[in-house]
């Protein structure tokens, strides 16, 4: 089980709506070759996208300043950050001023991934190269995250799209804006406007996540 010490040390949970995690339910589900990912658009001091893969009971996380790309000629800098609790994947809202990561968080994309490459996910991470295929609402197909050998801080990776049927050489991240959870854009989340569609959940444990805006509707398909 990954350690969430750094995540919890950086935050005051009486001052931020982010989930403290891990919730008891997070001891499951059992690890398998298919698991979940989430990308959160984060309008903080600097806008970036947080790419997170559920591995070993936590969300392995990278901050991608320019956002992910389906263009295989883009190599997007991805700075690894602290592991986040699984429940964070359902978090969308405002982190108040004065708190770590203050700003607005949108669930920009989410779905499942299959591991590719050799070895399990932790082995691939340790090697500094992990290959996986995403099945999200916006991101699809095969990707790699490759750690930069000359990274000064040791936390810089590149996120690269492999050439496959999901490739889009005309990719523009801004053309795919909006929350897959609530349909809202950053400004609407910042103003705490109501969801534009029913919130749907991927897993029951997300019921423990911080989401006060709407009752979940399990039978509403994700659009
Ligand atoms: Mn962030």
The phi and psi torsions of 141 (rounded to 5 degrees) equal 95, -170
Q: Report how far ligand 1's centroid is from the alpha carbon of 81 (Å).
A: 8
Number of helices (H), then strands (E), in the chain: 3, 9
Q: Report how far ligand 1's centroid is from the alpha carbon of 41 (Å).
A: 8
The phi and psi torsions of 111 (rounded to 5 degrees) equal 165, -150
The sign one gets for the Cα dihedral 22, 26, 31, 35 is negative
Q: What is the pLDDT of residue 218?
A: 44
Q: Are 106 and 186 in contact (CB under 8 A)?
A: yes
Q: Are 64 and 51 in contact (CB under 8 A)?
A: yes
Condensed to tens digits (0 to 9), the pLDDT of residues 136-147 reads 999 999 999 999
Q: Report how far ligand 1's centroid is from the alpha carbon of 207 (Å).
A: 22
What is the pTM assigned to this prediction? 0.84
Sequence-separated (6 or more) residues with CB below 8 Å from residue 107: 38, 39, 40, 89, 90, 91, 92, 179, 180, 181, 182
Q: What is the pLDDT of residue 18?
A: 94
CA distance 138 to 105: 17
Is the pLDDT score of 31 beyond 50? no
Q: Output the average pLDDT for the chain.
A: 87
Q: Are 13 and 82 in contact (CB under 8 A)?
A: no
CA distance 92 to 171: 25
Is the pLDDT score of 213 beyond 70? no
CA distance 19 to 57: 15
Q: Report how far ligand 1's centroid is from the alpha carbon of 219 (Å).
A: 30
Q: Are 37 and 48 in contact (CB under 8 A)?
A: no
Condensed to tens digits (0 to 9), the pLDDT of residues 80-126 reads 999 999 999 999 999 999 999 999 999 999 999 999 999 999 999 99
Is the pLDDT score of 184 beyond 70? yes
Q: What is the pLDDT of residue 171?
A: 98
Q: What is the pLDDT of residue 221?
A: 42
Q: Are 60 and 125 in contact (CB under 8 A)?
A: yes
Task: Kindly list the protein residues that place their beta carbon closer than 5 angstroms to ligand 1, a single-atom ion.
Answer: 42, 50
Q: Report how far ligand 1's centroid is from the alpha carbon of 194 (Å).
A: 23
- Binning the chain into helix, strand and coil, the percentages to the nearest 5 are 15, 35, 50
Is the pLDDT score of 209 beyond 90? no
122, containing H or E segment: helix 121-127
Q: Report how far ligand 1's centroid is from the alpha carbon of 49 (Å).
A: 7
């Amino acid at each position: 089980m990954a350690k969430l010490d750094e995540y919890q040390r950086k935050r005051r949970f009486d001052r931020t709506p982010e989930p403290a995690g891990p919730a008891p339910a997070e001891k499951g589900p059992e690890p398998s070759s298919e698991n979940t990912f989430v990308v959160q658009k984060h309008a903080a001091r600097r806008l970036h996208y947080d790419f997170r893969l559920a591995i070993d009971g936590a969300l392995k996380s990278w901050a991608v300043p320019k956002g992910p790309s389906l263009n295989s000629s883009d190599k997007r800098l991805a700075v690894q950050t602290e592991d986040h609790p699984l429940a964070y994947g359902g978090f969308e809202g405002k982190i108040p001023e004065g708190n770590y990561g203050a700003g607005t968080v949108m669930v920009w994309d989410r779905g499942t991934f299959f591991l590719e490459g050799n070895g399990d996910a932790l082995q691939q991470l340790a090697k500094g190269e992990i290959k996986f295929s995403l099945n999200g609402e916006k991101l699809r197909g095969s990707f790699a995250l490759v750690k930069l050998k000359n990274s000064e801080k040791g936390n810089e990776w590149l996120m690269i799209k492999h050439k496959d049927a999901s490739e889009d050489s005309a990719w523009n991240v801004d053309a795919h804006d909006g929350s897959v959870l609530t349909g809202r854009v950053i400004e609407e989340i910042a103003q705490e406007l109501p969801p534009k569609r029913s919130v749907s959940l991927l897993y029951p444990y997300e019921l423990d996540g911080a989401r006060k805006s709407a009752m979940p509707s399990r039978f509403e398909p994700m659009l």
